[in-house]
Structure 1
Amino acid sequence: MALNVVIMAAGKGTRMRSARPKVLHTLAGRSLLEHVLGRAARLQALQTLVITGHGAEQVEASVGAAAQCVRQQPQLGTGHAIQQVAPVLDEAAATTLILNGDVPLIEPATAAALAQACGGQRLALLTVTLDDATGYGRIVRNAAGQNVLAIVEHKDASPEQRAIREVYTGMMAAPTALLKQWVMALDNQNAQGEYYLTDIVAMAVAQGVPVVATPAADEVEVLGVNSPAQLADLERRLQRRQADALLEAGVRLADPARLDVRGTLTCGQDVDIDVNCVFEGQVSLGNGVKIGANCVIRNAVIGDGVVVHPFCHLDGDQDGVRVGAGSLIGPYARLRPGARLGAEVHIGNFVEVKNATLADGAKANHLAYLGDATVGERVNFGAGSITANYDGAHKHRTTIGADVHVGSNCVLIAPVTIGEGGTIGGGSTIAQDTPAGQLTVARAKQVSLAGWKRPVKAPKKA
């Protein structure tokens, strides 16, 4: 079925009390509008249009090539918004589906069913029954309760109409040619002086065009965001839904209410995740992985049997992080973009790894920094040691051969190569390549000064 999709994203969102356009506020790590665009893309529409207005430049930049943008200036209501887009609607698509940029969790199947209910011949409204319908347009039916006669906005509803629990979700599907006619005939004779898209229901009824109501299967998919409180509520609902899906797949969550997935999380068998963990971007956990409490993991691939102890931060950003099978991370470790760990690597407490490759069995167990480094198999990198990779203008690389032992409190000044099997004595500052299999020590001679007196403070004046 040929289809146009229109996403309304022009509103200011006054109740958000934010300089950011409402549709750019984030839910589970993605903007509200990004959620809607992603779901609309699965409908394979002939044309996707986004109506922008408040903060148009920001919104349009976020849309990019995902859709065509049409501006609504000024913003004079939902009907006025569709008036702006009507001239560019492609009539080759018999049905136009209208979605809201601040209703992020509409299921593609629900949207497709709404378009199917229209079929290019009927006006189809997506409705839901709510316990608290405050702020929503009420569905007014005939005496038999079968046909929709009108949608009455909350602001204009009588006390009897406000008692109706079935509400309009803001989403509809209409015959494209008729939609163009209807919106151009709208007026603003109402309490707010706005052009209401919902007024086209009365026009359809007057013309004998069937008006049908398609109920949403789940309240969550039609909940809009108009305030920080509503955004927080929807976040928790979505996170609980995601937690339930993980539990159903066999993942063991210490507390499903204390989990945040802000992207895509895929898990193998026998995965354990403790409380207060955040997963962002694309994260993959292999079989038997254990994630300790209070970890933040972003854009990372974690191999089978890895243990990530509590309070670790794995941030792959654009370059990603990879952790080989059987490795131990943390607690309080930080893996930054470009960290590539082989099998059975140990990264201990307060160790940071950035843009570095550690081969199988390498260890940095305490208080260390490995940046821009290539580390061989079975290397032991001592506590307090660092690779000094930055000269103030450029980054340089450190290469550490297999089976090297680096003592505590060493500085390896890049670019430098530490030969295989070598040992670097504790407290050394290494600025030149070292030979394989030898002990290298580079530190000042120890001196004790007899008779030296420690400075003391002068006594305070009375």
Structure 2
Amino acid sequence: MALDVVIMAAGKGTRMKSARPKVLHRLAGRALLQHVLDCAAALHPDGLVVVTGHGAEEVEAAVAGEGRRFVRQMPQHGTGHAVQQAAPLLHETGTTLVLNGDVPLVAPATAQALVAACGGERLALLTVTLDDPAGYGRILRAPGGAITGIVEQKDASPAQQALREVYTGVMAAPTAALRGWLARLTNDNAQREYYLTDVVAMAVADGVPVVHAAAADETEVLGVNSPAQLARLERRYQSRVAEALMEAGVRLADPARLDVRGRLDCGQDVEIDVGCVFEGRVVLADGVRVGPCCVLRDVEVGPGTILQAFTHIDGDGQPVRIGREGRIGPFARLRPGAALGDEVHVGNFVEVKNSSLADGAKANHLAYLGDATVGARVNYGAGSITANYDGANKHRTVIGDDAHVGSNCVLVAPVTIGAGATIGGGSTIAKDAPAGQLTVARARQASYAGWTRPQKAPPKPAP
């Protein structure tokens, strides 16, 4: 039996007070709509239709992908009108699941349970009971408990507004029946809109059973209509992540000060201090300690490594790799292509990009390593840099095992520093340095008697 998924993503989101379409605002580092698309993809639907409208071109460009089709609702005349636009793309029979692009945390298991409740024969509604149901359509039931309809907040009587069971905006319907109901919708209501919720009364009239599936909790079905709601949902999401990490044994200094905006996998005895942000895919092996205010994106950190305060690691899709027992930071920066062996030290205000540092290498202070291959046990002095860019192309620097690069050196690539070589402080090295030798390249020191510094001219007297 075919499964179609329709995602409504046409709304402007006036209360967001933003030029960006509402469904592209981010929760945990991803667009609201992307969360919904991920849920839909987990169901392996036979068809997926996204209904766009406000900012349609921007929305479609942001989430385009294989198997996704788009229809536009222009102008927007309500939820029923939105699904009407998708109707021609649905299969003739089967089940259609309707999701909302601004309700990002519906779990795939919940969506699957709703589809199962529909079974291609019943109208299934996802409901939840709220302490404060303001803004939601209320579920209407007959004395025996059967669902008879949904009334929108703006059309509800005082007695109906007191009801606490609400419709979440998510439904699953027999596709053939849904097509017929959509064709019969009218806009005879306070907002002069075509409500998708009106299909409930039609199903009852047609003798189609109306059933429900319950959301796991309120957080799962909360929508986003304002920056304040988005911020509150972000904290709920992060609280869930923090609880799961702690249940797995991770020690968090303060669960309320953690932001995971991707996937974070942790081994045993991992410690994370306050204010840390994790993006992309981050793997922290056993015994890793992350200091306060670190930002990690696309990185794999080996066992026992310590990331000190304000370390910034950004693999940007090219995972940075750090071996065991390393010591990084504080205030270090590792960029795409950085690969560090075991027991490597990268200290304060050191930047490493597209470079490998073998076991035991150290760059402890105020240094830059770009496009470099650094051997084992190398000591790279404070203030030293690899000059890897000639204005048109990047070039590589190779530093052999056990080499020592003094402070304030410039290594002009392409250049090789031989194993065991020593580079005298303040040198500018533009030719290969032999292994095992001292190489110095700097001007001879000179002193000049009788030299005086330039003096400022005295101020002119006032006229």
TM-score, normalising length: structure 1: 0.98
Structure-to-structure mapping, 1:256-405, within 5 angstroms = 256-405=255-404
Q: Which moved more, 1:58-67 or 1:399-408?
A: 58-67
Aligned to 1:31: 31
User: Quick one: distance in 1 between partners of 2:186 and 2:92?
Assistant: 24
> Residue 180 in 1 paired to residue 201 in 2?
no
Instruction: Give the total of aligned pairs.
Output: 460
Q: Secondary structure at the match of 1:15?
A: helix
Whether 1:440 aligns to 2:453 is: no
Which residue in the other structure is 2:85 paired with? 84
Alpha-carbon displacement from aligned partner over 1:353-391 (angstroms, at most 9, x marks no partner) = 000011111000000000010001110000000001111
Q: What SS class does the counterpart of residue 205 from structure 1 fall into?
A: helix
* 1:390 counterpart letter in structure 2: Y
Q: What is the percentage of aligned positions where both structures have the same residue?
A: 71
Q: What is the alpha-carbon distance in structure 2 between the residues aligned to residue 182 and residue 354 of structure 1? A: 59
1:459 aligned partner: 458
- Provide the rounded CA distance (Å) in 2 between the counterparts of 1:199 and 1:446: 89
Per the alignment, residue 105 of structure 1 pairs with 105
CA–CA separation in structure 2 for the residues paired with 1:403 and 1:303? 23
Q: Any runs of at least 4 consecutive aligned residues in structure 1 with deviations exceeding 6 A, and if so which?
A: none
Q: CA deviation at 1:143?
A: 2.6
Counterparts of residues 51-200 of structure 1 (less than 5 Å): 51-66=51-66, 67-92=68-93, 94-144=94-144, 146-200=145-199
1:428 corresponds to which letter in structure 2?
S
Secondary structure, in 3 states, of the residue corresponding to 1:65?
A: coil
SS of 2:65's partner is helix
Matched residue SS, 1:192 = coil
1:42 matched to which residue of 2?
A: 42
Q: Residue 202 of structure 1 aligns to which amino acid in structure 2?
A: A
Q: Which residue of 1 aligns with 2:200?
A: 201
Letter in 2 for 1:129: T
Task: Give the Cα separation in 1 of the matches to 2:173 and 2:233.
Answer: 28
Separation of aligned partners in 1, 2:438 and 2:49: 68
Q: Is the 8 A contact 2:2 2:91 kept in 1?
A: no
Distance in 2 of aligned mates of 1:160 and 1:461: 86
How many Å separate the matches in 2 of 1:48 and 1:425?
65
Q: What does 1:211-226 correspond to in 2, within 5 Å?
A: 211-226=210-225
Aligned-partner Cα distance in 2 for 1:220–1:132: 13
Q: What is the CA-CA distance between 1:238 and the residue it aligns to?
A: 0.5
Task: Note the C-alpha offset of 1:62.
Answer: 2.2
Report how far residue 212 of structure 1 moved.
Answer: 1.6
For residues 242 and 88 of structure 1, what CA distance do their matches in structure 2 show? 37
For 2:19, the equivalent position in structure 1 comes to 19
Identify which range, 212-221 or 286-295, moves more after superposition: 212-221
Q: Residue 243 of structure 2 corresponds to which residue in structure 1? A: 244
Structure 1 CA distance for aligned equivalents of residues 39 and 123 of structure 2: 22
Q: Write out per-residue CA displacement over residues 426-449 of structure 1, whole angstroms, 9 at most, x where no aligned residue.
A: 000011111111100000111111
The residue that corresponds to 2:427 in the other structure is 428
Tell me, in whole angstroms, the C-alpha distance in 2 between the residues paired with 1:268 and 1:318: 22
Paired AA for residue 305 in structure 1 = G
Residues 400-419 of structure 1 aligned to structure 2 (within 5 Å):
400-419=399-418
Tell me whether 37-46 or 362-371 shows the greater mean CA deviation. Answer: 37-46
Deviation at 1:109, TM superposition (A): 1.1
Counterpart of 1:381 in structure 2: which amino acid?
Y
Distance 2:386 2:422 in 1: 15
- How far apart are the structure 1 equivalents of 2:376 and 2:17? 54
Q: Find the aligned partners of 1:404 and 1:209 in 2 and give their Cα distance.
A: 80
For 2:379 and 2:32, locate their aligned partners in 1 and report how far apart those are by CA, in whole Å: 47
Q: In the aligned structure 2, how far is the partner of 1:328 from the partner of 1:217? A: 43
Asked if the contact 2:327–2:345 (Cα under 8 Å) also holds between the matched residues in 1, the reply is: yes
Q: Offset of 1:140 from its aligned partner? A: 1.3
**Counterpart code for 2:77:** L
Query: RMSD of the TM alignment (CA)?
Result: 1.0
CA distance in 1, matches of 2:420, 2:188: 85
Query: Which amino acid is the alignment partner of residue 46 of structure 2?
Result: L
CA displacement at 1:458 relative to structure 2: 2.4
Per-residue displacement from partner, 1:273-303 (whole Å, max 9, x unpaired)?
0000000000000110000000000000101
- Would you say 1:231 and 2:230 are equivalent positions? yes
Deviation string 1:192-216 (CA, Å, 9 cap, x unpaired) is 1111101111111111211122221
Instruction: List runs of 5+ in structure 2 lacking aligned partners.
Output: none
Most deviating of 373-382 and 49-58: 49-58
User: How much does 1:47 deviate?
Assistant: 1.3
Q: Distance in 2 between matches of 1:428 and 1:88?
A: 69
| Alpha-carbon distance, 1:169 to partner | 0.3
Between the aligned partners of 1:354 and 1:20, the Cα distance in structure 2 is 33
In 1, distance between residues paired with 2:457 and 2:59? Answer: 65
Q: Deviations over 1:21-76 (max 9, x none)?
A: 11111111111111111111111212111111111112112222242212211111
Distance across 1 between alignment mates of 2:196 and 2:443: 81
Shift of residue 456 of structure 1? 2.1
Question: How far apart are 1:396 and its partner, in Å?
Answer: 0.8
Structure 1: distance between partners of 2:260 and 2:176? 42
Hey, what's the Cα distance between the residues in 1 that align with 2:43 and 2:318? 31
Unaligned stretches of 5+ in structure 1?
A: none
